Amino acid sequence: MKKVITYGTFDLLHYGHLRLLERAKELGDYLIVGVTSDDFDKQRGKINVKQPLMERLQNVKETGLADEIIIEEYEGQKIDDIIKYGVDVFVLGSDWVGKFDYLKEYCEVIYLPRTEGVSSTELRNNDRKLKLGLVGEDIYLKKIYNESFYVNGIKVTAICSNEFDESDDTFKDIEIKTNDFDKLLDNVDALYLISNPKNHYDQIKKALLKHKSVLCESPITLDEKECKELFLLANKNKCVLMESIKTAYSTAYLRLLLLLKSGVIGNIVSVESTCTSLKDYMYFQKKDLNVEFNSICAWGPTAMLPIFQILGTNYKSLSIKSLFIDKEKKFDAFSKIDFLFDNAVGSVKVAKGIKSEGELIVSGTKGYLIVPSPWWITDYFEVRYENQNNNKRYFYQLEGEGFRHELVEFVKRVKQQYKNTNISEEVSLNIAKVMHEFYSDNVSEIQNSYKN
Ligand code: C2G
């Protein structure tokens, strides 16, 4: 029996795939089809796949062409499969010509002409592209704009900012560049908001009232009640209000949450997270501290995310200690936030005015998990035990710091009206609650180290 094998994502199965499978089947007596797992596709850069694995598997099965279907999960698996299944012929479309010649050591390798005029990417782009507006300060918007090109189904059509760098042509192809928020709203379907958090409530409310979905750089608001009101308005107007913390969309972070929930380090007693990005004191003297993000807004949501997603939000007490550069303007250079739960503690250090080790450490009754600095854009973490021989290391590819994955999720939710899952409404509300504590002066002040 002559065995043939081929592989693919087979997203939105189309006649190009079918013709490939039909011709592959004709090359032997038994056809094995490898369908890529969701994770493997993400790792190899295919982040826009629309259908989950089980749907893609089912579609391949329903063609009736595969005698056996397997899941492709890791780089190099093709060699394992060819040996394990005693494959005689490996087949793939001509878009891969040359890429798998190394398999000639194990079996015959055939590249069949690709069917022109159809592709999953084109099918994904067939939907009307979501017109996305970017609102906020120039520097950060460039990063988002560049990441948007990796995401099917959206097109940035407008930018609203108070400062455009005329010498920079990054945004040259964007039709609308304005400092008028209403003008932007009238020309987009949805927006990404990274303005000063003090303005978020009014801007988000205005957008939702116009039925525009919002991806808002955390914190959504500085008050839990306002945050709740906006989520209710979003649901009422069938829009999406989604918190933007790119860490929540990175594979390594998502996997470490699952590992911890599975008990790899036993019962969790402590979660400590630190996020700092040092600016020297003179930097702040030149900045308008009413516009510049203070430490707790710039880093607080990211640093609190693992506290709330690992320990929950039902803490018994909260204490905030801050070193201020300007107390009246509530501009903290450093804040330490401590949470006491029934059976655990959470501790956060955030700073733009001091430097520390930006790591995440989760301590348990059997061992601990450590994510090295900068933990919030990590692709790597370790689980460590008393007996170091049992230590385990984990690596998950992360392109673009997580932004593009976050944008992919946002588009999916706007198009299918999903509820947000990476960051629950409960977590968003609790981030806003801590912000409210901070801005309500429920803070212990650290004497200013800058005076000397
Ligand atoms: N294909 C084709 N004609 C098209 C589109 C796809 O012949 N118009 C072929 C591809 O060349 C591939 C198969 O159909 O052989 C599946 O295509 P995809 O689902 O896009 O899978 P791909 O990303 O090419 O993965 O490890 C995965 C494999 O290496 C191929």
- pLDDT tens, per residue, the chain with 452 residues: 999 999 999 999 999 999 999 999 999 999 999 999 998 998 888 999 989 999 999 999 999 999 999 999 999 999 999 999 999 999 999 999 999 999 999 999 999 999 998 888 888 777 778 999 999 876 778 889 999 999 988 999 999 998 888 888 889 999 899 999 999 999 999 999 998 899 999 999 999 999 999 999 999 999 999 999 999 999 999 999 999 999 998 889 999 999 999 999 999 999 999 999 998 878 888 888 888 899 999 999 999 999 999 999 999 999 999 999 999 999 999 999 999 999 999 999 999 999 999 999 999 999 999 999 999 998 999 999 999 999 999 998 887 778 898 999 999 899 876 666 799 999 999 999 999 999 999 999 998 776 65
Which amino acid would we find at residue 49? Answer: V
How many A from CA of 14 to the centre of ligand 1? 11
Give 323's strand partners: 334, 446
CATH numeric code, 3-119: 3.40.50.620
| Substitution candidate for ligand 1 out of 15, 17, 55 with most atoms within 8 A of CB | 17
State which ligand 1 atom lies nearest to the alpha carbon of 118: 8
- pLDDT confidence of residue 165: 81
Please check whether residue 275 is in contact with residue 305, taking contact to mean a CB–CB distance below 8 angstroms: no
Q: What angle do CA 347, 353, 357 make, to 5 degrees?
A: 50
> Is the CB of residue 114 below 6 angstroms from any atom belonging to ligand 1?
yes
Which amino acid would we find at residue 355? Answer: K
What are the domain boundaries of the chain? 3-119, 123-245, 248-447
Residues recorded for the chain: 452
Q: What tokens were used for 135?
A: 């609102």
The span from the CA of 215 to the CA of 244, in Å, is: 6
CATH numeric code, 248-447: 3.30.360.10
> Is the CB of residue 423 below 6 angstroms from any atom belonging to ligand 1?
no
Burial class of residue 169 (count of CB atoms within 10 Å of its CB; 0-12, 13-18, 19+): exposed
Q: For 73-92, give one letter per residue: b (16+ CB within 10 A) or e.
A: eeeebbeebbeeeebbbbbb
How many A from CA of 34 to the centre of ligand 1? 11
102 CB-near residues (< 8 Å, 6+ apart)? none
Looking at CATH, the fold of the domain delimited by 123-245 is given as: Rossmann fold (3.40.50)
C-alpha 166, offset from chain centre:
31
**Common-topology check for domains 3-119 and 248-447:** no
The closest residue, in CA terms, to atom 13 on ligand 1 is: 8
The closest residue, in CA terms, to atom 25 on ligand 1 is: 8
> Is the CB of residue 8 below 6 angstroms from any atom belonging to ligand 1?
yes
How many A from CA of 308 to the centre of ligand 1? 41
How many A from CA of 109 to the centre of ligand 1? 15
- pLDDT confidence of residue 364: 98
The closest residue, in CA terms, to atom 12 on ligand 1 is: 93
> Is the CB of residue 10 below 6 angstroms from any atom belonging to ligand 1?
yes
